[in-house]
Amino acid sequence: MRYLPHLSAAGVRAFLAENDDPVPGLTAVDLGDKGQAEEARRRLAAGTRPPAHQPIQIAEPFMLFTGLFPVLGYAARAEAYLRPSHDPEVDTLLAEITARAAGRPRIAVFWSANESHHIFAGRSLVAVQIAPLLAREDIHWVVLQRGAECAAWLKTPESALTSNPPATLSFNQTAGLLAGLDAVVTIDSALAHLAGGLGRPTFLLASAAADWRWGRDSRATPWYPTMDIVRQPALGDWPGAVTALGARLNAWMSGFRKA
C-alpha cells in the first residue's frame, strides 16, 4: 500500500488478491542490477513509465518491499493511502456506536494478535494489562479484539459498556469502520497499518524491542503521519506503556474537544 503510487509511476500494475490466491500480472522493477536501480530511481523521480516490453514478474508484497526500499526508502506520503468502499452494514454499525458514545470520542482498540501467554517480550497484551484504559468513562471504546481474548472480554461485565463489532466483519468493512471512528489504539498488527493507511489518528503500543519498521526511539514514522508510537519504557513494561498512552490520549482529547 505504501508503494502503490511509486509502483504506478514506474509503470507497474499491482493487484491485491484475497485468500492467498495467485496474482497473475503483478509486475515489479528488478532492482538486482545497480544500473536498473538507477533507472528505476530516475523513472520514479520523473514520474515516467517504462517501455511497453517491461517483463512481467510475480512477487509477494514483502519481496516488493525489500526490492523497493533501497530505492524509495520509507516512501513517505502526506495523505491517506486507502479509501474503503461504501458498505450499508458499516453505516448501521457506526450509527449504533455513535448513539452509544453520546458525544464521547469513539476509539477502536485492539490489544492481542498472537494469542500467546508468553507476553513478556512479545507485541501483545492481555485484557488485565489494557484494563486501565478500558475503564475510562470519557471514551467510548470499540473493541476489535478477536479470538480467545475477545471471548474472555465478552464474559466480563465491563464489555456491556463497550461496542463489540462482530468478528465476521471483512477487512474492507473493518476499514470502513475505522474510517468513521475518531481514533485507533492498537498493537503492531495489520490493524495498525490499516489505520495508518486510512490516515486515522492512531496510537501504536510498541514493545521496547519493536519490529525494525518502527525505529528505535521516535514517536513518529514517516509512513503514517497520523500515527503516534507509544513504546514500553523497558522490555515487558506494558503497564508503563499504557500509562504513557493515557497521558497522550488526554492531550489528543483536549484538541478533540476544541474541534
pLDDT in tens, 130-148: 999 999 999 999 999 988 8
pLDDT over 70 (residue 152): yes
Please check whether residues 24 and 139 belong to one and the same domain: no
Domain count, the chain: 2
The CA-atom distances, in angstroms, between 59 and each of 25, 28, 62, 69, 145 are 10, 7, 8, 15, 31
Q: Quote the Cα angle for 57-1-230, to 5°.
A: 135
Please check whether residues 156 and 244 belong to one and the same domain: yes
Please check whether residues 16 and 109 belong to one and the same domain: no
**pLDDT of 15:** 60
Please check whether residues 65 and 20 belong to one and the same domain: yes
Please check whether residues 134 and 215 belong to one and the same domain: yes
pLDDT over 80 (residue 90): yes
**pLDDT of 121:** 52
Residue 203: what are its φ and ψ, rounded to 5°?
-110, 115
CA distance 197 to 186: 14
Domain that holds residue 126: 88-258
pLDDT over 70 (residue 55): no
Domain membership flag for residue 83: no
Domain membership flag for residue 233: yes
Stretch 61-82: mean pLDDT: 73
The model carries a pTM of: 0.76
Domain membership flag for residue 45: yes
